[in-house]
Chain A
Amino acid sequence: MSRALECLLVGDCVTQPLGRLASRLEDFSVTTRHAGIGQFQQVLLADDQPDVMIVHTTPAHFFDGATPDEAEARMEAHCAMLAQRLIRGGTLVLANTLEAAPWHPVGQQRLALARLAGQYTARLADLAAQHPMLSVVDVAQVLARIGLNQCLRDQSRLVMRMPYTKAALDALCDAYAQAILERHLPRRKVIVLDADNTLWGGIVGEDGVDGVAIDREFPGAVHWEFQQQLKLLHASGILLVLASKNDEADVRAVFDQRRMPLAWADFVAHRVNWEPKGANILAMAEELSLGTDSFVFIDDNPFEIEQVRGLVPGIACHQFDARRADAALALLPGLARLHCWSVTREDLTKSHQYQVEAERRALKQTFGSLDDYLRSLEIRVEAGLNRAAHVRRLAQLTNKTNQFNLTTRRYSETDLLAVMATGQVFDFRVIDRFGDMGLVGVAIVRDGALDSFLMSCRVLGRRIESTILRHVVDRAANPELLARFIPTARNALAARFLAENGFELVQSTATESLYRLGAGPQASPDILLMEIA
């Protein structure tokens, strides 16, 4: 079922053509409303709370008939209204950078106006840093890519208050839709990469380590820049895995002996063998405990793409063709589901987390009993309550965690802030001797019931979930606490959790099982839980 989304648009031009962004939001049932031209004050200062508010300004709104000082004053006033709107909360606000400064016959004055337009971008960036519910769409870059002469028409602007061409409007609709999707849909987590003719040009088994093309000269430069893009994604929390039909020693030799942006260690899993890539990808997904619908696969070979697409459910497959450099280097920027508006501390350490997890698995092999292994980990849990500073990560967890999730209720940042005002939103950070796994668990108690209980699969199997449930039950202080298990296609893992942790079944239907607190769970004596303010 599509999620409903109400979008209100206001601009100093006609905004109805921008309403076509709704067709780019296939996962949503979108209703759009349009305010009158220039009604910024009426919209920003009203009590209206749509899900999304697009506040589109053209340069004319600030510069038309204004001295530079007057233009700057208008910008300041506009940003102040945006801030007031953002402080009230409840709505995702999209603002935009300005596509161009106005014409002036004097070069130095032209530069001063260009600097003002840049200062407006800086003001928006400052606002976005202060207010998590503001996204800024870089309209300047969107239109620059097309070319301003192809985007702006004075006749249309003057006749019908619409300065943009159809091509520009299509690009703006894409950009605004992308900004909305970044806030509402989880990012794909993993990119699976082929090696030959993808990470480098040529085939290492035939051309040798020195014969493959990966350097700053064409065609190696295409692969070099592609790797640089992957490196950026990796640094923002996307996991890279390698799936190559090769002898592993040959592929490792390229990483070891050739200079390139990516290193072997940047890949959190590797399957370099002669097995079908689809099977390899399924194995790596199980190793990482991640669903394949969060995977993207990139290969130069359409046969491999077809094989993987047929075997791996939900994976997004894309062909890489280095002979067409523009398309090759537009591939990753064009994958909207790899984008996000901001990253959390957990995102930035994601790859390291998975590598450390591999060390834990290796350690486990050396112990005779699970109890001894768990004791050796020296697990510590930090429990927080209603901590608004972590709302971004908590919203991310509720939207991305599918397997160990009792009810799979999704919360936006705004939703969580509202629940914090009336209920209890618990967050849990897990640390052991290998390091800090970050915020990995969320529990929400409201209206006498455990509304949500979820944990990242990375930390399952260490009795942490029972310990944090004990903490939640104690802090809820409600002997009649209710809890639900709502089955989905993905959360069978959590089906028996409540029954096995001291909750009694009250009633069960096809769509949900209702439990009441009984004896409650037992915390693990080997786990130290501390409450953090």
Chain B
Amino acid sequence: MSYATGEALLLTRLQACTNFSSTNVASANWKLLNQGKSDHYAILRAGKATPVWTTLSQYTITWRCVVEVWQRYKDDGSTPASLYGYVGNLLAILTYPHMGGGMEDSTIEEIGEAEEMWMKDGGPAWLRQNITVVWQEETNVTFSE
């Protein structure tokens, strides 16, 4: 399954998670952060892809999609707890290894560190934590040379 097809399935699955919807989940659209529709967002972007030859004539690409989970900074106490809770909500995708659409064996490869995203004049505006989702695409080839 290609990256674009896989990301589209992942997007739909993420939008169905608790506390998320089409309002605050988008693909590569960081303008959402300024629109004030929510205080937390999940924004998808392509990660590294690694093709590996798995048989004598077949390669497998491990596609990665980085899901950036953003939480607007409000105060020191509730903001981190909210972020960690929303990340936990998104882990529900682990129960859908095919993402409802034939994706093969998807899983979460890594949940990154929580980071503070600073404003230009100092002070955090957002907290962010990345979830890296992986799936694989097998392609059989006939060598031309």
A and B: bona fide binding partners: no
